[in-house]
Structure 1
Amino acid sequence: MKLGFLTACLPQVPLERIAAWAAEHDYDALEVATWPATGSRDFEASHLDVASFTDRDAEQVRTLLDGHGLEISALAYYENNLHPDEKRRAEIAEHVRRNIDTAQLLGVPYVGTFIGRDPGRSVRENIELGNQVLPPLVEYAGERGVKLIIENCVMEGWHPDGYPGNLAYSPELWEWIFSLGFYLNYDPSHLMWLGIDPVEALRPYVDRIPHAQAKDAQLDPRARNRYGFFGKAAERDDPWDMGWWRYRVPGLGDVDWRSVVDTLYEGGFTGTLSVEHEDPVWGSDEEKVKQGLVIAHRTLRPLIVA
């Protein structure tokens, strides 16, 4: 098992500086963010321009990573592949394909994305839509020796009422996406607030989890007594603010990391555990984000066999 982090937490820092810092602070791998450079969302990061990536670019990136003793664990483009607007859905699918092409050039085995959802359709209707539009992406990846990995983030902010916006949030839905040929980029933080035991949910599916993300969640049951499971309603100005839980870096929330890592080992996991830093306490500027990554490292490194 290797320890890495998702570069999206440092959207304004070039990949060269991120790689140097990661190596200096004893990380093994980078999950590299590859959103288009549109600036449409604050958390989007574009550390590789996959839309115009060439063999020469691949050589330069490999030289950079090799020089720091790092590897790229996966490319990361988490978008709504069931977007209700067909034109936008096609744009997203095209960028997924460009990620796959870039992964092939770099010898990177995985591209991470979301299933997504059309919020105007029921879950069952979305599954029917997914059965139609998603298999070509899986086939495109497979032909190039790449696996598509789906993060189990709920993406509640994509739904007008805070309901699941990414149909990969439960083991029941994992089994559906596995049937389409996807793999899981397992993240225990999302299971915590759903009331799903992240260890028991993980145990049966490790063989379909080649890559995992390390993010923590801090729950506040007293606030849940006010807002309910679905979070703020009348008081929610920010679609991502549920009001009774928040993301934290590993070690500052309620995930039992010792049990999670042990279960991954027990199931034969040999991939990368990649820190996804979305902690509001250790955010807002580059130095605080890096301190958050240091905290995550201190939590996880002792659990990973050298």
Structure 2
Amino acid sequence: MKLGFLTACLAESDLTDVAEWAADQGFEALEVAGWPSSDERSHIRVDRFDDAELERVRGVFTRTGLALSSIAYYENNLHPEHGPRVNAHVRRCVEAAAALGCPTVGTFVGRDPGLTVRDNLKKAADVFGPLVEHARAHGVAIVIENCVMRSWHPDGYPGNLAYSPELWEWMFTLGLKLNYDPSHLVALGIDPVAALRPHVGDIAHVQAKDTEILPGRIDRTGFYGPISGEKGWYRFRVPGLGRVDWTRVIDALHEGGYTGVVSVEHEDPVWSGTTAKVREGLRIAHGTLRHLVRG
């Protein structure tokens, strides 16, 4: 395995600075943000991916010796209005990944909140069939993160239909792979290791994020969280500052034969706000995981 991180947390830095700092800290890979160029999180100009951009990005990874584990574009592929635009950008991410020798593109299944779950699954099969074929033709796997994305549904229900092992098994029938993130399982009451073990062979990428349970909050709002704007009963932290048992998670990945990248997804509100604080959060994550993620 290799240890890396998702670059979106350092949106204010260019890719060269992010990669050079990552290599200096002992990281071995980057999962690079590939949103449209107008989005501040973008570190690869996928929508303007010409020969110059190819050489720019390739040069960064050649000089630093880092691996490019995935191009990340996590948006709603089933959105009733914006879905086709999202689908088209996923295609561009696939083409850029293939040109760069990157094995995966990460996105969400998403959800159309105006449809039932059953109808959403039918829609997803129609949407992702061509996307998976396009990716397969380019030698790239599309990986889906198991994030719940409650904010995408007006009533706070799951907005990304990929949050449970039951849905993972459905995704695999479409040719999609899993970008496994244990933090979301903790927030759903699912044992991350029990969920992981049967599915290691269908995991093509791993994100490392932790979950802190906030004392007393769930007693007021219940499992589904607040209906008002108040804070929920958990928050995401960098690995080592929450409930995930990283020794068991990484051991299960090793035992199952996973040899890919473990990519820190930094969404920790304590270690955010400035570049210096984000970098310190990434250092904390590195200290937690480095002795577990062995090449």
TM bin, normalised by shorter chain, reads: over 0.9
Counterpart for residue 35 of structure 1: 35
Counterpart for residue 187 of structure 1: 181
Counterpart for residue 24 of structure 1: 24
Given the alignment, which residue of 55, 77, 82 partners 2:78?
82
1:32 and 1:112 map into 2 onto residues whose CA distance is 10
Counterpart for residue 133 of structure 1: 127
Deviation at 1:12, TM superposition (A): 1.3
- String of CA shifts for 1:40-61, please: whole Å, max 9, x gaps: xxxx511010111123322232
* Structure 1 position 178 matched with structure 2 position 211: no
1:295 and 1:92 map into 2 onto residues whose CA distance is 34
Deviation at 1:100, TM superposition (A): 0.5
1:210–1:270 CA contact under 8 A, matched in 2? no
- String of CA shifts for 1:86-136, please: whole Å, max 9, x gaps: xx1111111001001100110101000000000111111101111222110
Amino acid of the structure 1 residue aligned with 2:4: G
2:142–2:176 CA contact under 8 A, matched in 1? yes
2:147 and 2:285 map into 1 onto residues whose CA distance is 19
Counterpart for residue 55 of structure 1: 51
* Structure 1 position 236 matched with structure 2 position 229: yes
1:138 and 1:168 map into 2 onto residues whose CA distance is 16
Counterpart for residue 63 of structure 2: 67
Gaps of 5+ in 2: none
Secondary structure of the 1:103 match is: helix
1:221 and 1:280 map into 2 onto residues whose CA distance is 17
2:75–2:86 CA contact under 8 A, matched in 1? yes
Counterpart for residue 144 of structure 1: 138
2:67 and 2:53 map into 1 onto residues whose CA distance is 15
2:141 and 2:294 map into 1 onto residues whose CA distance is 26
Secondary structure of the 1:247 match is: strand
Amino acid of the structure 1 residue aligned with 2:96: T
1:55–1:105 CA contact under 8 A, matched in 2? no
1:230 and 1:184 map into 2 onto residues whose CA distance is 24
1:217 and 1:80 map into 2 onto residues whose CA distance is 23
Q: Percent identity?
A: 57
2:161–2:167 CA contact under 8 A, matched in 1? yes
2:85 and 2:118 map into 1 onto residues whose CA distance is 24
Alpha-carbon RMSD across the aligned residues, in angstroms, is: 1.1
Amino acid of the structure 2 residue aligned with 1:38: S
1:132 and 1:73 map into 2 onto residues whose CA distance is 27
Secondary structure of the 1:17 match is: helix
Amino acid of the structure 1 residue aligned with 2:47: A
Secondary structure of the 2:187 match is: helix
Amino acid of the structure 2 residue aligned with 1:216: D
Deviation at 1:221, TM superposition (A): 5.1
* Structure 1 position 295 matched with structure 2 position 264: no
* Structure 1 position 283 matched with structure 2 position 272: yes
2:200–2:257 CA contact under 8 A, matched in 1? yes
Q: Answer with 62-71 or 285-294: which moved more.
A: 62-71
Counterpart for residue 164 of structure 1: 158
1:80–1:114 CA contact under 8 A, matched in 2? yes
* Structure 1 position 252 matched with structure 2 position 241: yes
1:304 and 1:229 map into 2 onto residues whose CA distance is 32
Counterpart for residue 11 of structure 1: 11
Deviation at 1:137, TM superposition (A): 0.4
Query: How many aligned residue pairs are there?
Result: 295
Alignment of 1:208-247 (within 5 A): 208-220=202-214, 222-233=216-227, 235-236=228-229, 241=231, 243-247=232-236
Secondary structure of the 1:210 match is: strand
- String of CA shifts for 1:168-191, please: whole Å, max 9, x gaps: 000000011100000000000000
